[in-house]
Amino acid sequence: MSLTVEKLTPSLNYGFLLTRQAYDTKQGIELSLWVKTLQGAVNVIVQNQQALFFVEQTQQVHAQSLLSEQRIVTAKVTPLALKTFNQQLVSGFYFSTMREFYRARDILKQAQIKCYEDDFRPDERFLMERFITAGIEFIPRLTALSITESAKQYSQTNFATFYSDKCRATNKTQLLDDIALTMVSLDIECSMAGELYSIGLHSHKMSDGKPIKCVLMIGDHNNVLAKAKQSTLSNEEAREIAEHIVWVDNEQALLTALIAWVRVHDPDIFIGWNVINFDFNLLQKRCDIHNIAFNIGRNYQSPRWRTRSAGGSQNEQKFIDVAGRVVLDGIDLLKNATYNFASFSLDFVANALLGKGKKVDDVENRIQEINDNFHHDKLALAAYNLEDCRLVTLIFEQSLLLEFTRLRAKLTGLSIDRIGGSVAAFTNLYLPKLHRSGYVAPNMGDGLQGLVSPGGYVMDSVPGLYKNVLVLDFKSLYPSIIRSFNIDPMGLIEGLKSPKNSIKGFDGAYFSRDKHFLPDIINELWLERDIAKKDKNSALSQAIKIIMNSFYGVLGSTGCRFFDPRLSGSITKRSHELLKTTSLWLENDGYQVIYGDTDSIFVHVDEDKTAEQCQVLGKSLQDKINVRWQATLKEEFSIESQLEIEFETHFSQFLMPTIRGQEAVKEQSKVGTKKRYAGVVNGKLLFKGLETVRSDWTELSKIFQQELYRLIFNEDPVDDYIKNIVDELKQGLHDDKLIYKKKIRRSLPDYVNTPPHVKAALIANSKLEGEGKKPKYTNRRTIRYVITLDGVQPLEYNESKLDYDFYVEKQIKPIANDILPFIGKDFDAITSNQMGLF
């Protein structure tokens, strides 16, 4: 069956780009683009594509000769009106297969012939050069409905395939937003050996508008129902979960049932928790064991897998490509969206975001409980499996993770499942503009060598206990510097060609006043973010903020082809200048600057001022500084300032601690901490970098710090509170709050020294082996331990008395002495009568 172009529904020729792939065929390189339209998913095939890299024209003849000797066939070699940053003209080397492209690249590199832009796949270049990001519009050449024989046994799902010669970025932005992507949460349960027990699937809304609650479970339906009364679930819970279970006989049937389920329900997106490295990875392995084709792609093919090693096999990251479908991992996306948790376990994140956790209460023995439930209480296992899926769905919805990743794809052209990718995002936005200005991109390492760019400016703080501290913050400082001073890779090259008419940077850099792209890219993003904030679109606002702030990191990264220390240095050194100059202006006006960090300045003002007066003063200082910078940049550089300082926070009470270990230093010579402070804002305590917000301190230390600071900020007495805490600690009343938790960051044998948490892990693993169990404390696992009179002990095996003197000295005293000296007190003096009582 086929459709003519004339009969093609208008809403079918544009949509959201799900996946892209390039591959060799007998006719040449083809691109397969899976697009979700208003009428469903379609496959757009673009034929007769070529792979391309550039070679300097002075090397063209030599390069062609080398390739000819090796019988490498080029589609064509063409001199182009493009040049390198070194002003060398280049020729384009075009190839009809990726195989020949990669062979040619390797041969020329071995011959020390530099190839430019040789790391772009044809699908990447095709989309990038057309400014296609997430939205794509295509003009079909012909269409045909097709279905493979292997798919017929599973469902009647058909996908339209369109052959297109012309694709472009769609301008139907609003309509694109109306295209819903169906999302299914997947979670597997298995034995320690990796044998599958069940597969949970959950969605609040599929394409038919209906929710999904399904557990594919190995087991005998009649036998399980006969034992239902023995389940730990209530009768009502047992009846409800039983309605959602699909029973299968064995693991082969379980895998086949999953593939069939995917065919019928046809999700666009799978989500989960460590879902690629664990769930899908194990599903693929079990399919391989049983010789089952894991055909879950919309092209009825198995996934393609890629791996990236990061320091050993235990740190290996896996990537999955499923034709027409996307797999998103909740952990990776939360990190990408700049969420930060003490732990990224599903338990912890669900409790932090949703106030609810998993159904199995015993975290340490969860695997054993899963095994027991599979053999004796399958209904409870199904409920647990489905609850895991549901929690992931709720986390995605609560955090707007799908919206975030859709918007990031729309803004940058990164594939929707791309993790990280700041350099790739920058390249997607920048490179097509660079080509249209007559340049090809440099290679990594082409930038100026030998210079080091400093980090953000952090001034020495003035320690003390203050009233009325105002924080003035430069809004998006690094992007503002780029916009104001036209910092840009091509702008640097053009500026160096005519420095007299350019803007002076640092380390010999000059930037063109009119030939640049990055300032304009940021301007566009800036305006879109202002609109997003006005519309209260938090996902879009956050996506834009992350992209804008990543541009400095990209320019300062040696992993970026545009890296040049003059670029990053002209940003950070300018930021140093801005903070120092602004601080000097404030001090000349009679205010005390007690601290500055990257883009923020902390100003101590009159302690007699009311909160209302501080608000008025903060806004006045903000306006005065902004006007002054506008005048300064106009006078010194003849540029318009895009800098904007904001009055951000008023601390009614504020503590800047002294660096520990300065007890013998004279008061006027003591130095304050950096990135560690606390204060009161609108009646609420705020901690930065102190023990309260650190995961490597005990719960008691955090409780003690918060209450001690509250008392001091309220000018209440503290002696009795400190004495009581020490008394209670030594009486064993807080033992449950003296537990350390720390993640193991690498394989235990890789630790040169043996820090306490590693020692605890080694002890625990030894005990487990003695019980005939597999050691569980390895890389990326978190160990809980205590300090006892017998040294470090893992919590689960501890039988020794806690070392209370250690906890007083290491967990209570340092916190107290951060703040007590500012009110004329000392921890030892307060507790001296107690120390010998226990």
Q: Tell me if 43 sits within 8 A of 324, measured CB to CB.
A: yes
Helical residues (DSSP H) of 589-718, grouped into ranges: 611-637, 699-713
Question: Which two three-digit tokens encode residue 451?
Answer: 């210079």
For the cut 60, the answer to whether the pLDDT of residue 263 exceeds it is: yes
Q: Tokens 């302690």 correspond to what residue?
A: 607
Q: Three-state SS for 508?
A: coil
**Complete DSSP assignment for 165-179:** EEEEE---HHHHHT-
Give 674-702 pLDDT, tens digit per residue.
888 999 999 999 999 887 667 778 999 99
Q: Say how far residue 441 (Cα) sits from the centre of its chain.
A: 27
Asked if residues 650 and 611 have their Cβ atoms less than 8 Å apart, the reply is yes
77-112, pLDDT tens digit by residue?
999 999 999 999 999 999 999 999 999 999 999 999
The predicted model scores a pTM of: 0.88
Average pLDDT over residues 178-195: 94
Torsion sign (Cα): 810, 811, 813, 814: positive
Higher per-residue pLDDT: 5 or 722: 722
Instruction: Output the pLDDT for position 628.
Output: 98
pLDDT digits (tens, 9 = 90+) for 458-487: 999 999 999 999 999 999 999 999 999 999
* Residue 544: count of CB within 10 angstroms of its CB: 25
Confidence of residue 637 (pLDDT cuts 50, 70, 90): very high
| Cα distance between residue 682 and residue 637, in whole Å | 41
| Predicted local confidence at residue 615, as pLDDT | 98
| Residue 452: strand, helix, or coil | coil
Structure confidence at residue 150 (pLDDT): 34
CA distances, 424 to each of 125, 403, 428, 517, 562 (Å): 12, 20, 6, 16, 11
Answer yes or no: is pLDDT of 361 > 70. no
pLDDT given at position 315: 62
Higher pLDDT, 364 or 720: 720
Sorting pLDDT into bands at 50, 70 and 90, what band is 5? very low
Residue 227 is predicted with a pLDDT of 66
**Looking at residues 312-317, what average pLDDT do you find?**
63
- Residue pLDDT, tens place only, 138-166: 988 754 444 343 333 333 456 889 999 89
Q: What is the mean pLDDT of residues 184-206?
A: 95
Average pLDDT of the segment spanning 785-799 = 95
Q: How far apart are CA 227 and CA 649, in angstroms?
A: 61
Higher-confidence position of 71 and 147: 71
First to last CA, the chain: 88
116: left (phi over 0), alpha (psi -120 to 50) or beta: beta
Structure tokens at 499: 């420095």
Mean pLDDT of the 759-771 span: 92
Q: Tell me, what's the pLDDT at 341? A: 86
Cα(441)–Cα(92) distance, integer angstroms: 13
Q: Please give the pLDDT value at position 364.
A: 55
How far is it, in rounded angstroms, from Cα 129 to Cα 584?
47
**814 φ/ψ angles, rounded to the nearest 5 degrees:** -60, -40
Closest-CA residue to 487 (of 478, 474, 499, 475): 478
The model's pLDDT over 695-715, given as tens digits with 9 standing for 90+, comes to 778 999 999 999 999 999 999
- For 57-159, where are the alpha helices, taking DSSP H only? 60-69, 98-110, 122-129, 149-152
Flag whether pLDDT at 396 surpasses 90: yes
| Domains contained in the chain, CATH given | 5-177 (3.30.70.2250), 183-411 (3.30.420.10), 422-431+454-656 (3.90.1600.10), 695-831 (1.10.132.60)
Q: Residue 779 — very low, low, confident or very high, per pLDDT cuts 50/70/90?
A: confident
Residue 771 has pLDDT above 80, yes or no: yes
Average pLDDT along the chain: 90
